[in-house]
Structure 1
Amino acid sequence: MKDDAPLVYSTEGGRITPPKEAISRPKGDGIVRLSRQTSGRKGKGVCIITGLDLEDTALSQLAAELKKKCGCGGTVSEGSIEIQGDKRDFLKNYLEGKGFHVKLAGG
């Protein structure tokens, strides 16, 4: 092998991205808050569930369970669960049945 041959491939450098840091969410006060939001959604309302003191995997499992029970879509975003539609009463009763202390927040 020649010493003057150009380097074709190397695992030492390149576009190696550092591992993602875990997003640290502030600790809640033990109260789950349900609010309804329509701003920035062209009038379509969503229920936002905040204050859940769960890990990311447990949070996404709870979101999937709520979406199945409500029969609608939703997502997990920055430590909160968004459920499409105005289903605050159902969500409040369901979460209280699971042992959470729930308050309705906002309008």
Structure 2
Amino acid sequence: MKNITGLPEELGIEEALEKEEAKIRVYIETRRFGKPTTIIEGITKDVKTILKELRRKLACGGTFKDNHIELQGDHRKRIKEVLVSLGFKEEQIEIL
């Protein structure tokens, strides 16, 4: 990505700006045998680290596929507080 701030990349300002701009959608899909899967769309940077933290904090399995995060189970009740603790703003998160 092009440096739009003019500041050194080592400061991490670009990542913070991208986190602030991201719109995150959280919804449930029912998979085989009626098992719910929580789908998170809109996270583009540092996905592996965020996924690892989500799996640890929500005590579930998960993966990154097709530009979205999939978590095993229905985590709509706790996902907002976990994403806020990871640095996303509450206004950015839309739970369907």
Do the two structures share a fold, i.e. TM-score over 0.5?
yes
Q: CA deviation at 1:62?
A: 0.8
When normalised by structure 2's length, the TM-score is 0.68
Percent identity between the two aligned chains: 32
After TM superposition, the structure 1 stretch with the greater mean CA deviation from structure 2, 79-88 or 95-104, is 95-104
Q: CA deviation at 1:43?
A: 0.3
Q: Runs of 4 or more off by more than 2 Å in structure 1?
A: none
Alignment of 1:45 onto 2:36: yes
Which of the numbers 78, 82, 88 marks the counterpart of 1:99?
A: 88
Show CA shifts across 1:40-72 (max 9, x none): 422000100001131xxx101111110011111
Question: What residue is the counterpart of 1:35 in the other structure?
Answer: 27
DSSP 3-state at the match of 2:49 = helix
| Aligned-pair Cα RMSD in Å | 1.5
**Which structure dedicates a bigger proportion of its chain to helix?**
2
Question: What residue is the counterpart of 2:68 in the other structure?
Answer: 80
When normalised by structure 1's length, the TM-score is 0.62
Quick one: distance in 1 between partners of 2:22 and 2:78? 20
Question: What residue is the counterpart of 1:25 in the other structure?
Answer: none
Gaps spanning 5+ residues in structure 1: where? 1-28
